[in-house]
């Protein structure tokens, strides 16, 4: 039986986790990462999570606005794209079709950044 690491997403052997790591679901390797990289992974997961939701709320958008001010360029970019998606089509239903029709640029941004994957699961 392994244990799930929420940062790298792998299920790893129990010995790859410290006692504290078990509680926080962070494996030894990820625990050694610099804090910035660690935050970025969490923020990215958070941004993907918003796209997976059936609806991106105003509260989510405020959170995205905070993330768009992140010092991490990729996180800021992802956040800005999702803010734009939320403006155009906050509901997930038919979102990709609608974007394909009206906002090809935004759809392309979702594809380029990999954010589109959030729509496939
Ligand atoms: Zn890990």
Q: Which three-class secondary structure state does DSSP give residue 12?
A: strand
What is the predicted pLDDT for the residue at 37? 82
Distance of CA 31 from the midpoint of ligand 1 (Å): 7
CA 66 – ligand 1 centroid, Å: 26
Query: Are residues 41 and 15 part of one domain?
Result: no
**Whole-number pLDDT of residue 36:** 80
Q: 86 C-alpha to center of ligand 1: Å?
A: 31
Give the Å distance between the CA of 74 and the centre of ligand 1: 20
Q: How far is the CA of 114 from the centre of ligand 1 (A)?
A: 21
Residues 10 and 61 in one domain: no
Task: Kindly give the parts of the chain with pLDDT less than 70.
Answer: 121
Place of tokens 């999702």: 82
Which pTM value belongs to this model?
0.76
CB 16 within 8 A of CB 1: no
Cα of 76 to ligand 1 centre, how many Å?
23
Residues 65/55, Cβ–Cβ less than 8 Å: no
pLDDT at 121: 57
* Structural domain for 25, as ranges: 1-33
Q: Are residues 52 and 11 in the same domain?
A: no
C-alpha closest to that of 66 among 53, 83, 42, 48: 83
> Same structural domain for residues 81 and 113?
yes
> What helix, strand, coil percent values describe the chain, rounded to 5?
65, 5, 30
The reply to whether 23 and 41 lie within a common domain is no
Same domain, 69 and 52: yes
> What pLDDT, on a 0 to 100 scale, did the predictor assign at position 7?
86
Q: Note whether 72 and 86 are same-domain residues.
A: yes
27 contacts 8 by C-beta, under 8 angstroms:
yes
Whether residues 61 and 115 fall in one domain: yes
C-alpha separations of 116 from 1, 73, 111, 112 in Å: 32, 19, 5, 8
Residues pairing with 3 in the sheet: 12
Q: Which two tokens stand for residue 35?
A: 């804090």
Predicted pLDDT at 38: 79
Instruction: Compute the distance from residue 17 Cα to the ligand 1 centre, in Å.
Output: 9
Q: Could you tell me the distance, in angstroms and rounded to a whole number, from the CA of residue 26 to the centre of ligand 1?
A: 5
Tally the domains of the chain: 2
SS3 55: strand
CB 110: neighbour CB atoms within 10 A? 23
The per-residue pLDDT for range 28-63, each reduced to its tens digit, is 998 888 888 878 989 999 999 999 999 999 999 999
């Amino acid at each position: 039986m392994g244990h799930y690491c929420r940062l790298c997403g792998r299920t790893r052997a129990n010995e790859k986790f410290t006692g504290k790591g078990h509680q926080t679901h962070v494996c030894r390797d990820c625990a050694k990462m610099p804090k910035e990289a660690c935050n970025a992974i969490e923020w990215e997961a958070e941004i993907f999570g918003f796209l997976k939701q059936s609806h991106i709320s105003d509260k989510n958008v405020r959170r995205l606005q905070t993330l768009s001010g992140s010092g991490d360029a990729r996180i800021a970019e992802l956040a800005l794209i999702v803010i734009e998606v939320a403006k155009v089509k906050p509901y997930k239903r038919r979102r990709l079709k609608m974007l394909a029709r009206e906002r090809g640029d935004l759809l392309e941004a979702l594809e380029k950044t990999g954010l589109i994957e959030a729509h496939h699961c």
